[in-house]
Structure 1
Amino acid sequence: MEKNVGTKTLRDAKIGQTVKVKKLTGDGPVKRRIMDMGITKGVDIYVRKVAPLGDPVEVTVRGYELSLRKADADMILIG
Protein backbone atom coordinates (compact mmCIF):
# COMPACT_ATOMS: atom_id res chain seq x y z
CA MET A 1 0.00 0.00 0.00
CA GLU A 2 1.32 3.44 -0.89
CA LYS A 3 1.07 6.04 1.84
CA ASN A 4 0.53 9.73 1.26
CA VAL A 5 3.18 12.03 2.70
CA GLY A 6 2.21 12.94 6.26
CA THR A 7 -0.22 10.05 6.62
CA LYS A 8 0.49 7.91 9.68
CA THR A 9 -0.72 4.38 10.21
CA LEU A 10 -0.95 2.29 13.35
CA ARG A 11 2.30 0.66 12.28
CA ASP A 12 4.06 4.04 12.80
CA ALA A 13 2.82 4.39 16.41
CA LYS A 14 5.34 3.94 19.20
CA ILE A 15 5.08 1.64 22.24
CA GLY A 16 3.14 3.33 25.05
CA GLN A 17 1.36 5.72 22.69
CA THR A 18 -2.42 6.11 22.53
CA VAL A 19 -3.72 7.04 19.08
CA LYS A 20 -7.14 7.75 17.58
CA VAL A 21 -8.32 6.00 14.42
CA LYS A 22 -8.98 8.47 11.61
CA LYS A 23 -9.87 6.05 8.83
CA LEU A 24 -9.69 2.42 7.76
CA THR A 25 -8.30 1.67 4.32
CA GLY A 26 -8.52 -1.61 2.44
CA ASP A 27 -11.70 -3.23 1.29
CA GLY A 28 -13.98 -6.20 1.53
CA PRO A 29 -13.41 -8.99 4.03
CA VAL A 30 -10.14 -7.60 5.45
CA LYS A 31 -11.68 -4.24 6.35
CA ARG A 32 -14.75 -6.00 7.76
CA ARG A 33 -12.54 -8.24 9.94
CA ILE A 34 -10.71 -5.21 11.36
CA MET A 35 -14.04 -3.52 12.12
CA ASP A 36 -15.35 -6.72 13.74
CA MET A 37 -12.37 -6.57 16.12
CA GLY A 38 -13.71 -3.23 17.39
CA ILE A 39 -11.38 -0.97 15.43
CA THR A 40 -13.57 1.74 13.94
CA LYS A 41 -13.22 5.44 13.17
CA GLY A 42 -12.77 7.56 16.30
CA VAL A 43 -11.76 4.73 18.67
CA ASP A 44 -8.61 5.05 20.81
CA ILE A 45 -5.90 2.40 20.47
CA TYR A 46 -3.11 1.96 23.03
CA VAL A 47 0.07 0.38 21.65
CA ARG A 48 1.28 -2.15 24.25
CA LYS A 49 4.10 -4.04 22.54
CA VAL A 50 5.75 -4.57 19.20
CA ALA A 51 7.49 -7.88 18.49
CA PRO A 52 11.26 -7.68 17.79
CA LEU A 53 10.76 -7.95 14.03
CA GLY A 54 7.70 -5.68 14.13
CA ASP A 55 5.11 -8.38 13.62
CA PRO A 56 2.69 -8.60 15.39
CA VAL A 57 1.76 -5.39 17.17
CA GLU A 58 -0.05 -5.80 20.50
CA VAL A 59 -2.67 -3.15 21.23
CA THR A 60 -5.51 -2.48 23.65
CA VAL A 61 -8.82 -1.54 22.02
CA ARG A 62 -12.11 -0.98 23.86
CA GLY A 63 -10.70 -2.62 27.00
CA TYR A 64 -9.35 -5.82 25.45
CA GLU A 65 -5.97 -6.88 24.12
CA LEU A 66 -5.46 -7.60 20.45
CA SER A 67 -2.56 -8.65 18.23
CA LEU A 68 -2.44 -7.24 14.71
CA ARG A 69 -0.24 -8.16 11.77
CA LYS A 70 1.86 -5.39 10.22
CA ALA A 71 -0.24 -5.59 7.06
CA ASP A 72 -3.43 -4.96 9.08
CA ALA A 73 -1.80 -2.16 11.09
CA ASP A 74 -0.89 -0.45 7.79
CA MET A 75 -4.60 -0.22 6.92
CA ILE A 76 -5.44 1.79 10.05
CA LEU A 77 -4.82 5.53 9.58
CA ILE A 78 -4.24 7.39 12.84
CA GLY A 79 -4.27 11.00 13.98
Structure 2
Amino acid sequence: MTSSPTSLDQLKIGMRARISTIDWESLDHGEACRLRHFGFDEGVAVQPLHLGPFGRDPLAVRVGRMTVAIRRNHARAVSVIPEAA
Protein backbone atom coordinates (compact mmCIF):
# COMPACT_ATOMS: atom_id res chain seq x y z
CA MET A 1 0.00 0.00 0.00
CA THR A 2 1.48 3.33 -1.10
CA SER A 3 0.76 6.50 0.87
CA SER A 4 -0.29 9.63 -0.95
CA PRO A 5 1.97 12.67 -0.92
CA THR A 6 1.48 15.41 1.65
CA SER A 7 3.42 18.54 2.50
CA LEU A 8 6.15 18.33 5.12
CA ASP A 9 4.36 20.86 7.34
CA GLN A 10 1.33 18.52 7.52
CA LEU A 11 3.30 15.39 8.43
CA LYS A 12 2.72 14.19 12.00
CA ILE A 13 5.57 14.68 14.46
CA GLY A 14 7.80 11.61 14.51
CA MET A 15 6.49 10.17 11.23
CA ARG A 16 9.18 9.25 8.71
CA ALA A 17 8.83 10.09 5.04
CA ARG A 18 10.77 10.51 1.80
CA ILE A 19 10.81 13.72 -0.19
CA SER A 20 8.94 13.25 -3.46
CA THR A 21 9.18 16.78 -4.87
CA ILE A 22 10.14 20.30 -3.84
CA ASP A 23 8.44 23.36 -5.32
CA TRP A 24 11.64 25.40 -5.70
CA GLU A 25 9.76 28.13 -7.58
CA SER A 26 7.68 28.95 -4.49
CA LEU A 27 10.82 29.69 -2.43
CA ASP A 28 12.99 32.76 -2.73
CA HIS A 29 16.52 32.13 -3.97
CA GLY A 30 18.15 32.37 -0.53
CA GLU A 31 15.76 29.91 1.09
CA ALA A 32 16.05 27.48 -1.81
CA CYS A 33 19.86 27.54 -1.46
CA ARG A 34 19.56 27.08 2.30
CA LEU A 35 17.34 23.99 1.91
CA ARG A 36 19.69 22.53 -0.70
CA HIS A 37 22.67 23.03 1.64
CA PHE A 38 20.74 21.26 4.39
CA GLY A 39 20.35 18.25 2.08
CA PHE A 40 16.74 18.66 0.96
CA ASP A 41 16.36 16.78 -2.33
CA GLU A 42 14.08 14.17 -3.90
CA GLY A 43 14.38 10.74 -2.26
CA VAL A 44 15.94 12.02 0.99
CA ALA A 45 14.52 10.71 4.28
CA VAL A 46 12.91 13.33 6.55
CA GLN A 47 11.19 13.26 9.92
CA PRO A 48 9.58 16.19 11.74
CA LEU A 49 10.78 16.14 15.36
CA HIS A 50 9.06 19.05 17.11
CA LEU A 51 7.42 22.44 16.66
CA GLY A 52 8.44 25.81 17.99
CA PRO A 53 6.53 27.17 20.98
CA PHE A 54 4.96 30.20 19.28
CA GLY A 55 2.76 29.72 16.24
CA ARG A 56 4.23 26.23 15.76
CA ASP A 57 7.22 27.81 14.03
CA PRO A 58 9.98 26.82 13.33
CA LEU A 59 9.71 23.13 12.58
CA ALA A 60 12.66 20.93 13.62
CA VAL A 61 13.25 18.29 10.94
CA ARG A 62 15.70 15.41 10.69
CA VAL A 63 17.09 15.40 7.15
CA GLY A 64 19.15 12.30 6.61
CA ARG A 65 21.31 12.29 9.77
CA MET A 66 21.16 16.04 10.47
CA THR A 67 18.55 18.04 12.41
CA VAL A 68 17.61 21.47 11.04
CA ALA A 69 15.00 24.12 11.82
CA ILE A 70 12.90 25.47 8.96
CA ARG A 71 9.88 27.72 8.77
CA ARG A 72 6.52 26.05 8.26
CA ASN A 73 5.84 28.07 5.09
CA HIS A 74 9.07 26.64 3.60
CA ALA A 75 8.13 23.12 4.74
CA ARG A 76 4.89 23.60 2.81
CA ALA A 77 6.93 23.60 -0.45
CA VAL A 78 8.28 20.10 0.30
CA SER A 79 6.05 17.19 -0.75
CA VAL A 80 6.71 13.93 1.04
CA ILE A 81 5.46 10.36 0.92
CA PRO A 82 5.06 8.89 4.42
CA GLU A 83 6.81 5.59 5.03
CA ALA A 84 4.92 2.61 6.42
CA ALA A 85 5.42 2.12 10.14
Q: Same fold (TM over 0.5)?
A: yes
Aligned residue for 1:39, secondary structure, equals coil
TM alignment of 1:38-77, pairs within 5 A: 38-52=39-53, 53-77=55-79
The two structures have a TM-score, normalised by structure 1, of 0.81
User: More relative contact order in 1 or in 2 (CA 8 Å, sep 6+)?
Assistant: 2
Residue aligning to 2:18? 20
What's the % identity of the aligned pairs? 20
Q: Structure 1 stretches of 5 or more lacking a match?
A: 1-5
Q: Which residue of 2 aligns with 1:3?
A: none
Instruction: Report the TM-score when normalising by structure 2.
Output: 0.76
Structure whose residues are more often strand by fraction: 2
Matched to 1:23, the amino acid is T
Cα-Cα RMSD = 1.7
> Which runs of at least 4 in structure 1 moved beyond 4 Å after TM superposition?
none
Which amino acid in 2 is paired with 1:16? Answer: G
The count of corresponding residues between Structure 1 and Structure 2 is: 74
Aligned 8 A contact 2:5 2:20 in 1: no
| Aligned equivalents of 1:44, 1:66: Cα separation in 2 | 13
Secondary structure (helix, strand or coil) at the match of 1:71 reads: helix
Could you tell me how far 1:14 is from its partner in structure 2?
Answer: 0.7
